[in-house]
A and B are shown apart, each in its own frame.
Chain A
Amino acid sequence: MSETFAMPVEQWSGSVLEVQIGATAEQGGTRGRTVTVGGAATLPFLQYEGNPGARPAIAFEVLDRPRESWAEALEKVYGDVKNDAAAWAQKCEQEFGADLICLRLEGANPDELDRSPTECTAIAKQVAAAVTVPLIIWGCGNAEKDNNIWPELSPALAGERVVLASATEDNYRTIAACCLADKHICLTEAPLDINIQKQVNILVSEMGVKPQDMIQYQTTGALGYGIEYAYSIYERSRLAALDGDAMLRFPMLSVVGAEAWKTKEATAGPEEVPEWGDLERRGILWEAATATTLLPGGTDILVMWHPTAAQMVRAVLDELTGA
C-alpha cells in the first residue's frame, strides 16, 4: 500500500549569499584553505527542496588572554595553551579540526589589559601565522578602542579576507571602511532584533561594502536563556533571504561557546544543583545543545569552545546533511 505523495516544495525567489572567508596565496592571502558559508536556496537542511547551501562551519574561539576563571572542563583542554593565543589557535586547528579560528581581543579593553593597537595587531599576526584556516577577529567591545585597533590591524592582514567583528548600529563606519580598504569581511551585529540587523546591513552596504563581504550576527543567549528569540530571528532572516530581501540574505554567525559556558548549567556544580548531574558532561552537552537548537533555525557559522561539544555537533551535522 503506497500512494504517490509529492513532498511539498515552495518556490523561493532568493537565496542566502555565498561568502568566502579567507584567501589563499593565489587570491592574495596566505591561508591554506578557505571556507565558504551560506548559499542556501531552501530552509535549513531541507535537501529535497533545493540547494541546502554550504555545511555550517565550526569556528573555535581563542582569547588573547586567559580568563580569570572558567569551567574546569575548559581548563582541562586549554590549560596548556591559554597564555599563548597562537599556540591555542594551533591546537584548535590541528587537534580539534577547527574550520575557522575566532580570535577575541578581550585584553584590548581599557578596563582589561588595555592592549595597544600595535600589540593587538602583533597577536593577530601571530595567530594568523600559526594556522592555515581562515580567521574571525573580534574587537574588545569598547567602540572608541576598537576604532583605534582596526585601522592598524586591518591593513596588517590585508588580503586575508578576515571576518572583522563587529559593526553595530552605533559604531560601524570605521570597521566598514577598513573592510572596504583591506578587503576583509564585515560582521554586522544587532541586539536580537531583525529590524536593527537589517538597518545595520543597509548602513554598512551603503558605505560601499559589497554583499559578498558581509556576514550577520545577532547577540544571543544560550539554550534556556532566550535562545528562542535568536531561533525565530534566524527563521525570519532565512525566509526573508529566500523571499529575495537583499538586505537580510547574509550568512549568519552564532556565538555558542562563550554564551553556553557562562550559564549556570555549565558552571554550577553538583553541590549547588545535585539534581542536574555531572558538571563536565552537563557543560559540554549544554554547548552542544545550544548549537543544535540553533541549527534548524538557520545558521552558517558556530563559534564554539569545547572540542567534544564541537565533535558532537559535527556528528549531528553529518546526519542532517546526509554526509
Chain B
Amino acid sequence: MQYTLTVEPLNRSIVVAPEQSLLEALQGAGISIAADCGGEGLCHHCGVLLVEGEVAPRDPSRWVERQENGHRWILACQARLAGDATIELSPQSLAGDMAALGRITGYRRAGEDTTHCSWPLARRMALQLMPPSAEDNVADWQRLEKRILDTCPDAPPLTAGLEVLRALPQVLRASRCDVMATIADRGYVREVIGVAPSASRPQHTPGLAVDVGTSTVVVQVVDLDSGHLMGQAAGTNAQKAYGADVISRIIWAEQHPDGPARMQDLIIRQISELAHRACELSGCEPRQVVAASLAGNTTMATFAIGGYPQPIRREPHIPFARDVPALRARDLGMNLHPLAPVFLAPAVSGFVGGDVSAGVLATGMADAEELGLLVDVGTNGEIVLGNRDWLICCSCSAGPAFEGVDIAAGIHAVPGAIDRIEFDRSSGVFDWQTIGNLTPIGLCGTGLLEALAAMFRGGLLDRQGHLDPESPLVRDGYDEPEVVIVPKARSGTRDDLVLRESEIENLLRSKAAVYAGIASLLRALQLQPDDIQRLYIAGSFGNRLRVEEAVTIGLLPDVPRERISFAGNTSLAGAYQALTSREARERLAEIGRQMTYLELSTEPGFMDEFMAALFLPHTDLARFPSQRGPGPSSS
C-alpha cells in the first residue's frame, strides 16, 4: 500500500508508505526540512500545510494542528498519510532558520504555465543553429542572434558582451551548434551572457530573490525555468553592528572615510553567504546563479551599490534613483555569474524604498479596484494606501521597539521567544507560548504586542500604559515600575523576564506612530478607516500576530476583521515576482512612478494623530467601536 505525496512549492511527487511520518518521507526523498528536536513533536519547525488529502496522527498525545489561511497546519513528524495528499512547505521549514518569516506569496504552483509569463530576469534557451556553410556564411553572432529572434520574437534589441563574443566560435563548433544561451533582461536590451553546449545543460536555471531588510536579509534561490523555489536562507543583517536603524548606519558611513565601501562590503558579503547556503540546499553553485532581484529600503539599496547615503537623511530626503538602471553581479562584487543582471526594486523616496514598492506589487493592491492599505509593522513603519487609480505612502518611523530593541526582555523571533501570551485576570497569571515550545528567553515583536493587549485587557495596564501598582506582578524596578512576565524560575535566562513602564511607553509610541501614519494618510485624502477594503500586514510579524490583539491596542484601525490579512514578507514576494516576470518588472516601475509620498513630519495633522493614538486603544474611543465597554482600569 502506497500513497503519493505531492510537495509544493517544489512540485515534486514522492511515494510514501502509510506507516512513515511525512517528515521521514520527505527526508527519504532528499527534501530536507528543519526538524530541530529530531521528530519528537517539540520544536514545531517541521510544520507543513495540508492542502489536500487525509492524514492520521502517529501519537495523538503529541498532535498539534491549527488553521492557517484556510488549511490545516500540521507537524510533518507527527503525521502519516491516510491517502494521497498534497502538502505545502513553509519557508521556515525549508530554511530551518529564523522562524516567523511569514509565507511567501506569488510563487508558481505546479501546472501553472510559465511559458507565457514573459521574460524572467534571465532565461535559458535551448537553440539548435544551422551550421554555417559556404552558401550560408552568416557570422557566428548574427547566426545566434537570428536564432534567438526566431525563437523569441519579443527579444530585441539583443546584445552580447566581450566574454560571450570571444568564446562563441569555439562553443558553436564544439557543440555542433546545439547550444544553451543564457539571456539576461536588462530592461532596454536583452543581453546574451552565456553560451554553452547543450550537453552541459544544468538541471535548473537558478536566480535569486533577495529581501534586503534592515534587520533581516532573506535570500531565495528560484528556478527560473519553472519559477519554483529551490532553497532559502536568512540571517541578521550584518550592518547591525553599526546601528540598529538606518539613520545610525548612515551617520556611521558618513563619519568614516570608507564608510560607504564598508557598508557595501558587509551587505554584499552577507547576500553572497546566504546565497551560498541557499544554493547548497538547492543543489547548485552561486556561480551558476544568472540573475538577482533585490528589494530593500532606500538606505539598503544605496549601501548595496556602495553609494553615498547622506542625502537620504537630509531634507528633502532624496534617493539616488527611483528606477535603477540594470547592474551586473560583477559590478557589485556578488559571487554570482559575473554578468548576472541585478535588478533593484524602485525607491519612491528617501524613506519609502524598493521593499515597499515590491510589497505593493506582491499584494496586488495596485491592480485592485477596492481600496487597500499595506502596513509594514517594522522600524520604518511604511504604509501604503491606494488602489489601481492612485497610491499614497508614508514612513511613520515607528522605531525598533517592535524588534525588541531597547527592551531588556525583547528578542528576535528565535526559538524560545514568546510570541503568544494571555493574562488571566482572575488567576492573575500570564500564560504564554514560545517559538519552538522552549523555555522562554524573551519576547519577540509579536509577543510584546500581545503582552500589551493581554495586560490591558486584564487590567494590569491602564489606557496610558501605566502599570497597576496594586497588582502583585508589578513591583518597583530601578527607577520605575515593572511587571514580571516570566519569573526566573520559569525563564530560560537566569532572571525574571520583565517589562518596564518606559519600555511599555516605547511600544505605545511605536504603535501610535503606525496608527497615526495610517490615520494621516486617510485624513490627507479625506477618507475613513471604513473605506479600507483590504488591509495587508507585512513585515517580520508574518502571520503570528493576532489581529484582535492588534486592534485592542489600537495598532490597527477597527475595520471588519475579514478585511485584514497577513501578507508575510511582501518585499521578498515582490522581489520574486520581479525576478520571474518582465511584466512584473514593468508593473513595478509603474508603481514606483505612481506612488505619491507624504512627508509626515510636515503634515499638519500627524502630531495630533500621534498624541491621540498614545492611548489604549485611542483617545477617540468612538474610532474603536468593537472595543466599547468600560475601560479595564483598576477600580
Contact = CB atoms under 8 A, between A and B. Distances in A.
Interface of A: 169, 193-196, 198-199, 202-203, 206-208, 247
A206 B631 CA distance: 6
A203 B464 contact: yes
B502 to A, nearest CB: 13
Contact of B619 (A202, A206, A207, A208): A202
A195 B635 contact: no
B612 interface: yes
Interface size class of B (residues with CB under 8 A): 10 to 19
Interface secondary structure of B, over-half rule:
loop
A117 B350 CA distance: 58
Nearest to A180: B635
B608 A199 contact: no
Given A195-B611, A195-B614, A207 B635 contact: yes
Contact of B464 (A193, A194, A199, A207): A199
B30 interface: no
Contact of A206 (B611, B612, B620, B633): B633
A207 B635 CA distance: 6
A193 B633 CA distance: 23
A198 B462 CA distance: 14
A207 B463 CA distance: 12
Nearest to A200: B464
Interface in B470-515: none
B630 interface: yes
Given A169-B464, A195-B612, A206 B621 contact: no
A195 B608 CA distance: 8
Contacts of A194: 608
Nearest to B632: A206
Contacts of B621: 202, 247
Contacts of A203: 462-464, 633
Contacts of B635: 206-208
Interface in B578-631: 608, 611-612, 614-615, 619-621, 630-631
Nearest to A193: B611
Nearest to A177: B635
Contacts of B619: 195, 198-199, 202
Contacts of A206: 463, 630-631, 633, 635
B553 to A, nearest CB: 15
A220 to B, nearest CB: 17
Interface in B419-478: 462-464
A247 B608 CA distance: 17
Nearest to A201: B619
B611 A207 contact: no
Contacts of A208: 635
Contacts of B615: 195, 199, 202
A213 to B, nearest CB: 15
A241 B462 CA distance: 25
Contacts of B464: 169, 199, 203
Contacts of B633: 203, 206-207
Contact of B611 (A196, A202, A247): A196
Given A202-B463, A202-B631, 5 more contacts: A195-B615, A198-B619, A199-B463, A202-B615, A207-B633
Contacts of B614: 195, 199
A202 B620 CA distance: 10
A198 B608 CA distance: 12
